[in-house]
A and B are shown apart, each in its own frame.
Chain A
Amino acid sequence: MKILVVCGNGLGSSFIVEMNVKKALKELNIEADVSHTDLATSKTEPADYYIGSKDIIENLDDGNRKIIPLINLLNQQELMDALQKQIIVEG
């Protein structure tokens, strides 16, 4: 499974979220390949899930991609809940 963390420029928020996603996946016992990139690159990069700030990630919502929007990028609980809901419950 591949999870792509997306931000506007690929060097600010997506790095922070990438760290937090790795931490959360470990706690949830989910194996995944996590990397981060900018919005423009992410449009041509296939991944199972795209995660990032709601303001950014909605640009990727084309009806086919699975997106995970976050309001507070630093809130670990929000991230855990979102990952759990998208990956474990909805698959």
Chain B
Amino acid sequence: MLNEIIGGIQIADKVESWQDAIELAASPLLQKGMIKEDYIDAMITNINKLGPYVIIAPHVAIPHARPEDGVNKLAMSLLKLNQPIAFSEEERHQASLIFILAATDNQTHLKALSQLSTMLSEEENIDTLINGKTIEDLQILIDKYSE
């Protein structure tokens, strides 16, 4: 399930801001028409409004907004940054893994999300993703948690 949902895995050296990180991470979904431009703005607005709560574990951010903010099709994408980006001045708000979540309702994404959380609850998996050199390195681990 998870590997069917996660499309558009990218690795980048660095970005200038967390807003740029979200925009870049979401760009494959935008290109494939799975989300509208508005959805990217909504994810950024949410963080401006509520703070960097999308950092759910050390180094891991899951930016998302509401389905009605511009999701056409359930999808996720992943951007791995070689240099972490700061979501605030606090050390705990540094992220290297940006998983964009675009859900179409409150239910259909839950299986993929639970597989993602199982994968990320093992800290060594987070290290594996952060240290991954190629998209294939990341894909192998994601496939492992997609059964």
| SS of B interface (majority) | mixed
Residues on A with C-beta less than 8 A from B46 are 8-9
Residues on B with C-beta less than 8 A from A16 are 56, 113-114, 117
| SS of A interface (majority) | mixed
Q: Is A73's CB under 8 angstroms from B56's CB? A: yes
Q: Is A9's CB under 8 angstroms from B121's CB? A: no
Residue A32 at the B interface, CB < 8 A? no
In the assembled complex, the Cα of A30 lies from the Cα of B52 at a distance in Å of: 31
Residue B62 at the A interface, CB < 8 A? yes
In the assembled complex, the Cα of A39 lies from the Cα of B113 at a distance in Å of: 20
Residues on A with C-beta less than 8 A from B114 are 15-16, 19
Residues on A with C-beta less than 8 A from B92 are 71
Q: Is B106's CB under 8 angstroms from A8's CB? A: no
B99's nearest neighbour on chain A, judged by CB, is A12
User: Taking beta carbons and an 8 Å cutoff, which residues of A are in contact with B?
Assistant: 7-13, 15-16, 19-20, 39, 52-53, 55-56, 59, 71-76
User: Taking beta carbons and an 8 Å cutoff, which residues of B are in contact with A?
Assistant: 46, 50-58, 60, 62, 64-67, 92, 101, 103, 106, 109-110, 113-114, 117, 120-121
